[in-house]
Amino acid sequence: MILNGPALRVMQQQARGRFVRKLLIYCGGLIVPVVAGLVFGFNLALQCVIAIFLAHGTQLMHQLTHGVFNPNKDRFIGWWLGLALFENFIEYRVSHLNHHRLIGTEKYHCHPSRMPKVSGLVKVVYSGLHLFKIVFYVKTLRRLFAALLGRSDIAPNDKQNRLICNDYRWMLLAHSGVLAGAYYFGLLGLLVDIWLIPLVIASCLHTLLELATHADCAMDETDPRLNSRSIRTNGLMNWFSNYGCFHAEHHQYMVVPMDVLPQIHGQMPMDIKHTNPGYLALVLQLMRSFVKGLKAS
């Protein structure tokens, strides 16, 4: 496979068309269970479908952070994808690009030297708070209040600070409008069915997707073959993760569209240290590692 300038431009052009199709599937995946719930009544199965597509939307956001259309279109689409999960797209993009730039260094927040030293029950509670993104939502609430004052603790410059703060304000306006409308029309119960319950499930799914990319890898190494993972999985999980399962390849070839990563995996082997034959095998591995760590502490 050739990865020169002309070849990359062709890949990126083709990726735009595929991304439009992904968005259509995403929208359909949310609309169909909502309509079905309104007609036949909501149940956990329908709420899980909504949650799956909400979590999948975060993976589409991830692709947008690396550029799909142009900065304005990417920001507009990313804002809508992140809205239901309280994700500020510009903030997410800044944080994610820092992740690529700093991973493996002592400045990276997941470097072993910066990880909290917890054990026993504290470790269980700590992990649970992160699994359901409670820590993230508390931090988001704090950043939302800071944005109302025009401050962002992650913005690298004044322009990004302004964009992040503006997006938080629009997010607050949208959520306030939805809550006010639901309260006025007596639809708070419906909001719980189509948003709150799916949000809890989607938060857990999103955490597991993010955890799978680097957990148990060498976070004190800058080499993607050591600090990232590649997961050989089925077509459904390839779609759900938006090919983020090929994460070591993504870190090595960051400019390559996500859809091309399976070809990279097959045609440009990287001697990746951390590989798994599927997400189930990985989850079992991480659970064993977690229990082993608890016993050791």
Which comes out higher in pLDDT, residue 49 or 265? 49
Residue 1 has what pLDDT? Answer: 61
pLDDT value at 121 more than 90: no
Domains of the chain: which residue ranges?
A: 5-296
Give the model confidence (pLDDT) of 159-197 as tens digits.
Answer: 999 999 999 999 999 999 999 999 999 999 999 999 999
Q: pTM of the predicted model, to two decimals?
A: 0.93
Give the model confidence (pLDDT) of 194-236 as tens digits.
Answer: 999 999 999 999 999 999 999 999 999 999 999 999 999 999 9
Residue 291 has what pLDDT? Answer: 86
For residues 110-131, give the mean pLDDT: 86
Residue 124 has what pLDDT? Answer: 86
Give the model confidence (pLDDT) of 13-72 as tens digits.
Answer: 999 999 999 999 999 999 999 999 999 999 999 999 999 999 999 999 999 999 999 999
Percentage above 90 pLDDT, the chain: 79
Residue 72 has what pLDDT? Answer: 95
* Contact (CB, 8 A) for 260 and 11: yes
What's the pLDDT band for 2 if we cut at 50, 70, 90? Answer: low
